[in-house]
A and B are shown apart, each in its own frame.
Chain A
Amino acid sequence: MTEVPVKIEKDGKWVVSKIDIQQESMAVGEPVNRQIPFKSIVDLEERKNILVVTQKGEPPQVLRIASVEKVLQALKKVIIMSCSAYRLMAYFMSPAIRGGVMVTNPQWEKGAIAVLKTSIWFVSQNKQVSVPLSDVASIELTKREVQKKQVDVVKIDHLENSEVVTSFILCPISTLQVLFNFLKDATKEMDMAGNELDAVAAQVGMLIYSGMDSHAIENMLNISHKELDAIYENLSKLGLIEVMFIRKEVQLTPKGVRYISDAVKPPSP
């Protein structure tokens, strides 16, 4: 039906090939020679300009496809709409809020939501947004004003390049409830009771969220380096933070003091 040029990863090397997109499957040409029924695809991930297609099986078969943006868009759309996934027609707004700031003129888009093994996809005529389930920070069934009416929506917060991005999904309440339960279940390992942190640790968490560094947190909360370290330890044990890097706190040695003292002396006449 439609043949598109691609590069496929084969035995650790990228080889030039073609994909023939058919009604119910796609045929990967020479030298890969593989027929992939869309219904056998259980996962689709996007990593920069590479699509990772996972076919069910023991073990699952993984196909990495690279191409130009236009081709990848066409492939994504057809795979998402035809693969084995929990799919529903809905309105979505993504992104609606980025880093706590409302996006200017966010629009509801009519399209489909597909929940795959590792990610949620929002697909409309012009847009394909992927949210990896491992990056989902929170899911909430809430209300939002749409055309002067309060309607039920699912709100999803996820991390994108260290920014917290909020998206909304709108569809009939029964479907919304199913989607909400499905997503809650898919991300249940992140659930916590909510009483694990004391007030100071919660404030530390809020300051980390806002982008404050350790020095700023110590100053703002008037706590010592040791106290902050103990809180970090606890947050880390709970899986709430990860260590990015360890910064050294140092002092000058006698040799260093001598060097600096000499360096600032005015030149002798």
Chain B
Amino acid sequence: MGRILIVDDTLFMRTLLKNILFSGGHDIVGEAGDGDEAITKYKELKPDLVTMDVVMPKVNGIEALKAIKGLDPNARVVMCTAVGQEQMVKLAIKTGARGYIIKPFQAPKVLEEIKNVLGS
């Protein structure tokens, strides 16, 4: 089970992910509402994994991913975005994302992906 930081600009999606991850036995160590806050919280909390929304105000998910990988090349980041933005997958994977989930998502599959990434 992992210590997870959830990054998403909507409270609804953060709450949903928190519920799913908590039900899978994970520890939610923090939440961030934009990329800037995500970078600050990553430095502060050193989570095992980050779920990162792609489209966010101020600093977007891809830029935040780059910054976090700059701080910690071994950082495990799972990107999270809406249907129709799948072309972001390549860019995110190239930037160092370990996994990708597409909204809307289903709890068992999210937990499976998180487990895979934590085990990698």
Contact = CB atoms under 8 A, between A and B. Distances in A.
A220 B12 CA distance: 8
Contacts of B103: 100
A139 to B, nearest CB: 13
Interface residues of B, number: 24
B113 A216 contact: no
Given A144-B87, A164-B106, 20 more contacts: A99-B105, A99-B108, A99-B110, A100-B103, A101-B99, A101-B100, A101-B110, A102-B102, A145-B87, A150-B87, A163-B106, A163-B108, A206-B12, A206-B16, A209-B106, A210-B104, A210-B107, A212-B107, A220-B15, A220-B19
A175 interface: no
Interface string B58-102: 000000000000000000000000001011011000000001111
Contacts of B110: 99-101
Contacts of A209: 104, 106
A211 B15 contact: no
A135 to B, nearest CB: 15
17 contacts: A99-B106, A100-B104, A101-B109, A101-B110, A102-B86, A102-B100, A144-B87, A163-B108, A164-B104, A206-B12, A209-B106, A210-B16, A210-B105, A211-B106, A211-B107, A216-B19, A220-B16
Contact of B20 (A97, A142, A210): A210
Chain B binding surface, main DSSP class:
helix
Interface of B: 12, 15-16, 19-20, 84, 86-87, 89-90, 99-110, 112-113
Contacts of B113: 101
Interface string A164-194: 1000000000000000000000000000000
Top 10 A-B residue pairs of the complex, sorted by shortest distance between their CB atoms: A100-B105, A99-B109, A211-B107, A99-B106, A101-B109, A101-B113, A100-B102, A209-B104, A102-B100, A220-B15
Interface residues of A, number: 21
A98 interface: yes
A144 B86 contact: yes
Given A144-B86, A145-B90, A100 B109 contact: yes
A261 B93 CA distance: 58
A199 B49 CA distance: 31
A35 interface: no
B51 to A, nearest CB: 12
Contacts of B109: 98-101, 163
A203 interface: yes
B102 A101 contact: yes
A62 interface: no
Contacts of B100: 101-102
Nearest to A155: B83
A97 B12 CA distance: 23
B86 to A, nearest CB: 7
